[in-house]
Amino acid sequence: MTEHQTLDEELAVLKSYITQCETELKSLTVAKKKSAAPRIRKSLQQIKNHSHKMRGSVTESVKSMPTKSRAKKEPVQVLDAKMSQAEAEPEPEIEPVEPVKKVRKPRVKKVAAE
């Protein structure tokens, strides 16, 4: 793969590897030719290597694209926002709850058998 190839050209090469693999697979399964197995493995390895190179090319092309500028947001005063929320919602009054006392069972003394 050369640097001047576009992603479309690289995809066409990848498709050619896939069609080559399909034809060899048919000769293995339909015609029962054992000699097709190494060619299939070779095609699959080419597909793997070319796919890896394409992934790198895609990453490079994405990094070379300009980024869009985002619209700037208005700064919000946090203290003002909290104060407006506090004024809008009155806090409900909470009645005090008495703590629950735990009741223990009395201990039973064990008497030694004589």
Return the pLDDT at 84.
Answer: 56
Return the pLDDT at 1.
Answer: 44
pLDDT band at 2 (very low <50, low <70, confident <90, very high): very low
pLDDT band at 4 (very low <50, low <70, confident <90, very high): low
- State if pTM tops 0.95: no
pLDDT for 78 beyond 80: no
Phi/psi at 84 (5° precision): -70, -35
**Mean pLDDT of the 23-48 span:** 93
* Highest-scoring range by mean pLDDT, 15-19, 89-93, 109-113: 15-19
Instruction: Please report, rounded to a whole number, the percentage of residues in the chain having pLDDT higher than 70.
Output: 81
**Mean pLDDT of the 22-51 span:** 93
pLDDT for 22 beyond 70: yes
Q: Report the length, in residues, of the chain.
A: 114
What Cα–Cα distance (Å) separates residue 94 from each residue in 85, 91, 97? 19, 9, 9
Are 18 and 45 within 8 A, CB to CB? no
Query: What's the distance, Cα to Cα, between the start and end of the chain in Å?
Result: 98
**Mean pLDDT of the 87-112 span:** 76
**SS in 3 state form for 54-98?**
HHHHHHHHHHHCCCCCCCCCCCCCHHHHHHHHHHHCCCCCCCCCC
Dist. CA 37–CA 45, nearest whole Å: 12
Domain ranges for the chain, please list them: 32-61
Residues sharing a CB contact under 8 Å with residue 58, sequence separation 6 or more, in sequence order: 7
